[in-house]
Amino acid sequence: MRQVHHMIAGDAAGSASRHGEVFNPSVGEVQARVSLGAASDLDRAVAAAKAAQPSWARTNPQRRARVMFRFKELIEANMQELAELLSSEHGKVVADAKGDIQRGLEVIEFSCGIPHALKGEYTQGAGPGIDVYSMRQPVGIGAGITPFNFPAMIPMWMFGPAIVCGNAFILKPSERDPSVPNRLCELMLEAGLPEGILQVVHGDKEMVDAILDHPSIGAVSFVGSSDIAQYVYARGAAAGKRVQAMGGAKNHGIVMPDADLEQVVADLCGAAFGSAGERCMALPVVVPVGQSTAEALRERLVPAIEALRVGVSNDAEAHYGPVVTAIHKKRIEGWIQTGVDEGAELVIDGRNFTLQGHENGFFVGPSLFDHVTPTMESYKEEIFGPVLQIVRAPDFESALALADDHQYGNGVAIFTRNGHAAREFAARVQVGMVGINVPIPVPVAYHSFGGWKRSGFGDHNQHGMEGVRFWTRMKTVTQRWPDGLAEGDLADAFVIPTMS
């Protein structure tokens, strides 16, 4: 059986202790075993990072950027291989897997411009003969803990900016689909990255805790569920690290009475059910404003959802594939039952979906609920599956309050032709990322990604200039070059300096 090992100091390294199973979700069978590392494995990776990082930090930004340019070319040349490998372990269809890789690659493209992004500030003559300037310097060794749902994109969101800023980076990807992160590491080495600058360690909570506690790791980036994000933030910060921890979501789509419902239905089908709903930027809640809007939307939604094609990950005609594991499939179906028990109307039931010839695959059909209320647990919590909930609102203010009052504040969208309503909504809603007639408002790579409330812990967002700020520390230098000791200088030396 295929083995997935750590990538430490440029070499595949096995672990003699524990292993996890990597499934093919389309058939429900184990296809590989992944090493589950321990603190000793992390120690070896940190030692290699310590040896390599000082020289890498002294490498000028242009040369670091050239490695990223070569890495970009290699990703593009190997796109099909990477997408098929990703699909085989995650379950998302190949076209969606290519999108996963491409969105990560766009952050690599941003990272290629690091010489400009690292420029500091300079003030000549801030005081008599005094100049002040700032510089951004790497943190040293950073680490990333990434989720199963984007095994290419989110690692590149993290290690691209971190490495190009001069840091060494240790990646701990999800043990559910670990092969693409290893392949990304191999391609970075092929692009000319020195050994020890990017390494991959696999594991579970034991490895996560080792990363959070290790005194030589200065910064940690995390994406996952909110409870774990809060844990990572608290433990990492207590250990003196800077931490950015992105959590869960329950994104709302507000549908105003003047919205283009045909476009809304197409957007909702893709945003709610694409990648089997396993996206933190999925749109699992739609909020039609007014009863007539709700009835008209439901009338169009039902046939559109019933026409969705669920298939194996390499089915080019499938809209989405299986979920990642049997445990996750059971969890999603449990939430559907919870919604029924709470009194929501299950309009379309995706449970017990089977695909001929793949009866053991981890498939969940699309589900639609109507008359969901804010008091229901199935509304309050993240389902992370192909389930869309309709929560009806009588007016704009009520719809806005739904998004504002929810524990999560990752993304939100409004569908309308009214510019005033859109502007008012964007200004007032208490959510980190807003889409106006855009169902999945993930910012482009040169802007930054991040949510509010329990969707984000820490002061910096992912990628863009926020990523550069997170992976560097600001140093400010105040300098003067006096000709000699002038009259009065000795007395002035005992007074706090000012620029007057």
3-state secondary structure 438-457: CCCCCCCCCCCECCEECCEE
Please, what are the domains in the chain?
A: 2-247+455-477 (3.40.605.10), 252-436 (3.40.309.10)
| Residues tagged active-site | 280
Quick: pLDDT tens for 445-455.
Answer: 999 999 999 99
What is the pLDDT, as a whole number, of residue 496? 76
The DSSP secondary-structure symbol of 495 reads: S
Question: Over the stretch 122-141, which tens digit does the pLDDT of each residue have?
Answer: 999 998 889 999 999 999 99
- The predicted structure's pLDDT at residue 12: 79
Both tokens of 41, joined, read 């494995």
Average pLDDT over residues 149-171: 98
Element (H, E) at 300: helix 291-306
CA dihedral 187, 167, 34, 84 (to 10 degrees): -30
* Percent residues over pLDDT 90 in the chain: 93
The model's pLDDT over 197-225, given as tens digits with 9 standing for 90+, comes to 999 999 999 999 999 999 999 999 999 99
Residue 303 has pLDDT above 70, yes or no: yes
pLDDT band, residue 492 (cuts 50/70/90): low
Q: What is the DSSP letter of 39?
A: H
Entry pTM: 0.94
Is the predicted pLDDT of residue 499 greater than 90, yes or no? no
CA distances from 459 to 120, 237, 431, 452 (A): 21, 12, 15, 10
| Averaged pLDDT, 262-270 | 98
- Binning pLDDT at 50, 70 and 90, where does residue 61 land? very high
Residues constituting the chain: 500
Q: Is the pLDDT of residue 465 over 90?
A: yes
Give the separation between CA 62 and CA 49, rounded to whole angstroms.
21
| 434, pLDDT greater than 70 | yes
Mean pLDDT, the chain, rounded, equals 95
Give the pLDDT band of residue 489 (cuts 50, 70, 90).
low
Binned at pLDDT 50, 70 and 90, residue 16 comes out as low
Q: Model confidence at 500, in pLDDT bands (50, 70, 90)? A: low
In this predicted model, which residue has the larger pLDDT, 432 or 12? 432
How confident is the model at residue 343, as a pLDDT?
Answer: 98
pLDDT(68) > 70:
yes
In the block, tokens 């309709």 appear at: 390
**What pLDDT was estimated at residue 2?**
94
pLDDT-derived band at 487, boundaries 50, 70, 90: low
> How far is 227 from 455, CA to CA, in rounded Å?
10
Tell me what the mean pLDDT of segment 11-35 comes to. Answer: 89
Share of the chain above pLDDT 70, in %: 97
